[in-house]
Amino acid sequence: MRAWVVARPGPMSSGPLELTDERPVPEPGPGELLVKVVTCGVCRTDLHLTEGDLPPRHPRMTPGHEVVGRVVATGPGTTRFREGDRVGAAWLAGTDGTCRFCRRGDENLCPGSVYTGWDRHGGYAEYLTVADAFAHPLPAGFSDGELAPLLCAGIIGYRALVRAEVPPGGTLGIWGFGGSAHLAAQVAMAQGAQVHVFTRAPAARDLARDLGAASVQDSFDPTPVPLDSAILFAPVGTIVPAALAALDRGGTLAIAGIYLTAIPSLDYERHLFQERNLRSVTSNTRGDAQEFLTLAERLHLKVTTTPYRFGQADQALTDLAGDRVNGAAVLHME
Ligand SMILES: [Zn+2]
Ligand SMILES: [Zn+2]
C-alpha cells in the first residue's frame, strides 16, 4: 500500500517525508480493526513530529491522527464495530487501563498511553489498524472531509476550552486561530461566552469575524476587555506573558499545544498574582471525545477545511508550517 513515512525528521524544506509503496496492508490483531482511510486531517502535531520537535518513537513512522475511514476487517475479540462501519481514529490510541490515572478517569495522563501516528502508524496511508476500544463512532451531518479535523483539532480544542473554565457569560481570549481554535470558539460562543481572537494571519482573522468573534486583533495587541479565560493555540511561548497579563483577577490560561517554544520569565505581580491560573492540556480522554462529537452534531459546528490530495501531504505540512492554511488541512484519498 502507499504510505507517507517520516524518513529524516527535520525542517519541511529538507524533505523529511517520503512516500513509499513498500509497506504491506497491516493485519488486524486481537481487538483491532483494519480501517481503509477515506480522509485524514493534518494537525500541527504531525508537523512537530515530521520536523523533529517531538522525538520520534520509532523510525519511519506514518503520521496522521485525524482519520476517517471504513472498517474492512476485524481482528478477534472486537465488539464495538463491524465491517462496513464508518469510524474515526484519533490521537489517543491506547492506554494500560490499570494505572492510578486510568483508574481515576484521567486516562489522558496514562504513562503507558500510545498515540496514533507516533507509536502506531497513522492515517497518511491507505490503511491502518485501530484498537476497537479506541475507535470513535462519527457524528451525522458532516462530510468525510469535515469529520477529520473534529477528531483532534476539535477534541483537543474542546478539552482546552473545558480546562480554561470560562464562567457563564464570561470573556474568552483565543491566541492562534486555526483548525482547533475555530471549532472551540464556536462551542464557547454557543455556551454564551464572548470570544476575542488574537492572530496575525489575515485569513484567520476573516474566519474569526465570520464565526462571530467579538473582536479580532494581532497576537501582541492589547486586549479590548479583561479576560476571564484564555486559550493559547499558537505554539509560541512568548505569547504566554501577554495572555496572562490580559487575564482578569482569577482568570485561567490553558495552553492547548503538545509543543511550545520557550516561555520567557514571568513577573509574579504582572502575570500570576490575583489568583491567575496557568494550565497545560495533555491529550484527551475518550470521554472528552464522546462529549465533543455529540456537541459537534448538536451545535452543527461549521468546519472550515482546506482539501489536499493524498499525494500532497508534504505540501499540506509545508503550508501549515508557513501559516498558509485556513481552517484545517485535510488529505483526501484519491
Ligand atoms: Zn493508565
Ligand atoms: Zn492533533
pLDDT along the chain (334 residues), means of 10: 97 96 96 98 94 93 98 97 97 97 97 97 98 97 97 96 97 94 97 97 93 97 98 96 98 94 97 98 96 97 95 96 88 92
- For residue 257, what is its C-alpha cell? 499545544
* Helix 155-164 with 286-299: angle, nearest 10 deg: 100
Query: Ligand 2 centre from 153 Cα, in Å?
Result: 6
Ligand with smallest separation from the Cα of 96? 1
Q: Which class for 99: exposed (0-12), middle (13-18), buried (19 or more C-beta within 10 A)?
A: middle
Which pLDDT belongs to residue 229? 98
One-letter identity of residue 155: I
| Vertex 117 angle, CA 325 and 146, to 5° | 40
Query: Ligand 1 centre from 106 Cα, in Å?
Result: 8
Query: Ligand 2 centre from 258 Cα, in Å?
Result: 9
- For residue 20, what is its C-alpha cell? 513509499
Query: Ligand 2 centre from 116 Cα, in Å?
Result: 9
Read off the pTM.
0.93
Ion ligand 2 neighbours, Cβ < 5 Å: 43, 45, 152
Helix, strand, coil shares of the chain, percent, nearest 5, are: 30, 25, 45
CA distance 305 to 317: 14
Contact between 333 and 38 under an 8 Å Cβ cutoff? The reply is yes
Which pLDDT belongs to residue 274? 97
**β pairing state of 17-20 and 32-42:** unpaired
